[in-house]
Amino acid sequence: MVTILDTLSRAGDKPRPRHPEKAHQPDTPVLPKPDWIRVKAPVSRGYAETREIVKAENLVTVCEEAGCPNIGGCWEKKHATFMIMGGICTRACSFCNVATGKPHALDDGEPESVARAVAKMGLHHVVITSVDRDDLADGGAEHFARTIRAIRAAAPGTTIEILTPDFLRKPGALEVVVAARPDVFNHNLETVPSNYLTVRPGARYFHSVRLLQRVKELDPTIFTKSGIMVGLGEERNEILQLMDDLRSADVDFITIGQYLQPTRKHHAVIRYVPPEEFKSLETVAYTKGFLVVAASPLTRSSHHAGEDFERLRKARLARQTSAAA
């Protein structure tokens, strides 16, 4: 028998906070949620089965880490967004509930673990996202590429959507990811440029727009996609300008959803946008030329991703047919 003595931990030590950079900030106000934003707690059998597969493969999902309100409905249908490269992000965006700090080393077997889970769940469409990894020389680009290739090998009939960080100051990283040929390349702008200093301080708005544009330059067959949150104090005219910026980058698909405040240390919800305003934004986005638009209070960038991918394919085909006529 071997007895191990822990001489490092002290009795009464508190667990590390998820957001140490926010710990000493004053609490932000909380607005009461309107009826249209409420969802049921996840209790279905399908939800439990998906959770078991995720835990068995020791995987991280953004559904859990970001506290997505749609987790019950998605997991019931065995839809999950896998988050690779660990659960600790090197950025500290004021809207996000993913833990921040110094990440662990990459798990070299993770691409294969994700691929096994995709095959086991029988997914027709999978979404792969990640934390920001500014600590890595390539920002995790090769890890993304390896994951895409592993899924292609384990589940050749599954279409692959990736939701990537911005690869800021990582020359050559984007090219590595695009060369792996995902079906959909998603990178979220998150908010209008006037909010970046307070909402997404580690990012650069026009770098993100250019990233999406560069994907299309490298491989025009890849669908591009981006999403924003509303309710962060933006003005309508700023949203419309953002749409124009995305269309200038030839982005195919935009998602627009309500920002929900994870804790009182996060950015406050300035207002809850009513459903009719989302419908109006959807109408405008289609007139600007997006192939597919998803806009509602509970829309998230990966919500109904499989169904939306089929809509994308049909919309592109219809546009190509119309142009050829």
Predicted confidence at residue 222, as pLDDT, reads 98
> To the nearest 10°, the Cα dihedral for 99, 110, 68, 230?
80
Predicted confidence at residue 298, as pLDDT, reads 92
At residue 227, the 3 state secondary structure works out as strand
Predicted confidence at residue 88, as pLDDT, reads 94
| Domains of the chain and CATH, by start | 41-320 (3.20.20.70)
**Contact present, 54 and 117 (Cβ < 8 Å):** yes
Q: Which residue has the higher pLDDT, 42 or 212?
A: 212
At residue 52, the 3 state secondary structure works out as helix
Spatial separation of the C-alpha atoms in residues 73 and 303, rounded to whole Å: 9
Pair of tokens at residue 157: 């009939």
For residue 13, the number of C-alpha atoms closer than 13 Å in the C-beta half-sphere is 8
**Contact present, 51 and 59 (Cβ < 8 Å):** no
Predicted confidence at residue 183, as pLDDT, reads 97
Predicted confidence at residue 259, as pLDDT, reads 96
Q: Which residue in 186, 118, 130 sits closest to 158, CA to CA?
A: 118
Overall average pLDDT of the 169-183 stretch: 98
pLDDT digits (tens, 9 = 90+) for 282-306: 999 999 999 999 999 999 888 788 8
Q: Which residue has the higher pLDDT, 43 or 199?
A: 199
Predicted confidence at residue 42, as pLDDT, reads 61
DSSP type of residue 4: -
Overall average pLDDT of the 307-311 stretch: 93
pLDDT digits (tens, 9 = 90+) for 221-274: 999 999 999 999 999 999 999 999 999 999 999 999 999 999 999 999 999 999
Phi, psi of 196 (to 5 degrees): -60, -40
Whether 65 shows a pLDDT value over 60: the answer reads: no
Q: pTM for the complete prediction?
A: 0.88
Reduced DSSP (H G I as helix, E B as strand, rest coil) percent helix, strand, coil of the chain, to 5: 40, 15, 50
- Percent of the chain scoring above 70 in pLDDT: 86
Pair of tokens at residue 124: 């027709």
Whether 39 shows a pLDDT value over 90: the answer reads: no
pLDDT tier for residue 53 given thresholds of 50, 70 and 90: confident
Whether 160 shows a pLDDT value over 60: the answer reads: yes
Q: Which residue in 196, 255, 191 sits closest to 223, CA to CA?
A: 255
Pair of tokens at residue 5: 């003595």
Predicted confidence at residue 90, as pLDDT, reads 96
Predicted confidence at residue 159, as pLDDT, reads 95
Pair of tokens at residue 308: 């939306």
pLDDT digits (tens, 9 = 90+) for 88-124: 999 999 999 999 999 999 999 999 999 999 998 888 8
Whether 13 shows a pLDDT value over 80: the answer reads: no
